[in-house]
Amino acid sequence: MLDVLAHRVYRHLFLAQVIALIGTGLTTVALALLVTILPKVRRASC
């Protein structure tokens, strides 16, 4: 199954997909933190 990574093009596509998946996960976590932290900050400033 991993022998397809011996091909340069497929390896680059696979790594690009992994990077995109990590970025999606980080964005999801960042938005969740923003949603939980932002109301507390707005309440404290009023």
Residues 20-37 have pLDDT tens digits of 999 999 999 999 999 999
pLDDT of 19 reads 98
Handedness of CA 33, 35, 40, 45 (dihedral sign): positive
Q: What rounded mean pLDDT belongs to the chain?
A: 91
pLDDT of 46 reads 66
Where are the domains positioned within the chain?
Answer: 2-45
Write b or e for each residue in 2-29: b if 16 or more Cβ atoms lie within 10 A of its Cβ, otherwise e. Answer: eeeeeeeeeeeeeeeeeeeeeeeeeeee
pLDDT of 17 reads 97
Distance separating alpha carbons of residues 19 and 24, to the nearest angstrom: 9
Residue 4 has pLDDT above 80, yes or no: yes
pLDDT of 7 reads 94
Residue 1 has pLDDT above 90, yes or no: no
